[in-house]
Structure 1
């Protein structure tokens, strides 16, 4: 079952990429009311460039917050594990490619951010209920 879910998530990400490109970044640029970011990481095992589309429930001129929910799966998403190994990454937000340094929020930071995250998209609370793992919140400091 997990390989099917993983394949489905990758297929959805590819479809999202295609729709954004075909529409000039107009369609699906704010799913669930949150801006889409394209995250560029370095593969933790391969060392190769990797990219995926995510939403950011909270962001400003210096910080982008990401939620490593994987839809409530019991495993961390690959992009999160890549950032743990290689915290220097890049994000494309609002059409601008920016270098970031990513880190997992401390428990104190997460307790402050989580209500705002859930307020932006209630689905994150549902994802947390689906899993026993503590869903990490990632703070990306823009460079």
Structure 2
């Protein structure tokens, strides 16, 4: 798929973080939470969590992998488009796992975040690679392990 090949490139990793979230936030706001442009490629949600240091709400549109048959659980992949550092939202979830809210299809849902580790992380990582193969290219470029989080309704 062309979109997957393009998104696995270093050029995409350099430009997308500056363009995709800005467009997503604008469209999400204009449509009152009903539309995310990036959701044309992957399911998406908007995460709001207090900043780890400031405590101020931080809102970030993110691709997600819905988990299970019942709506209410999602996997977030902290790939940061294959860039070196962990995305800021992952530090926020680590610091304040019980204070997150997702906007999913126009509804705000309070969630609890869990960092996945060990065998569970390995299993979910394999599912994430099937879901979006470019994650493998991102991981190959990085020295850090990409963080995976499970968000569940609270």
TM-score normalised over the length of structure 2: 0.79
Task: Give structure 1 stretches of 5+ with no counterpart.
Answer: none
Post-superposition CA distance 1:25-76 (Å, at most 9, x none): 34625232x2110000101111101100001123342311100110112211
Return 17-26 or 40-49, whichever deviates more: 17-26
Post-superposition CA distance 1:73-114 (Å, at most 9, x none): 221100000111111200011222111110110221111111
Which of 51, 60, 82 aligns to 1:72? It is 82
Identify the residue that residue 111 of structure 1 maps to in structure 2.
122
In 2, Cα distance between equivalents of 1:100 and 1:108: 23
In 2, Cα distance between equivalents of 1:15 and 1:129: 28
Identify the residue that residue 86 of structure 1 maps to in structure 2.
96
Say how many residue pairs are matched. 137
Task: Give structure 2 stretches of 5+ with no counterpart.
Answer: 1-13
**Residues 9, 106 of structure 1: alpha-carbon distance in 2 compared, 3 angstrom cutoff:** same
Instruction: Report whether the alignment pairs 1:136 with 2:136.
Output: no
Instruction: Report whether the alignment pairs 1:20 with 2:28.
Output: yes
CA contact (8 A) 2:113 2:149 kept: yes
CA contact (8 A) 2:77 2:147 kept: yes
Which of 34, 37, 40 aligns to 1:31? It is 40
**Residues 135, 85 of structure 1: alpha-carbon distance in 2 compared, 3 angstrom cutoff:** same
CA contact (8 A) 1:38 1:52 kept: yes
In 2, Cα distance between equivalents of 1:93 and 1:23: 13
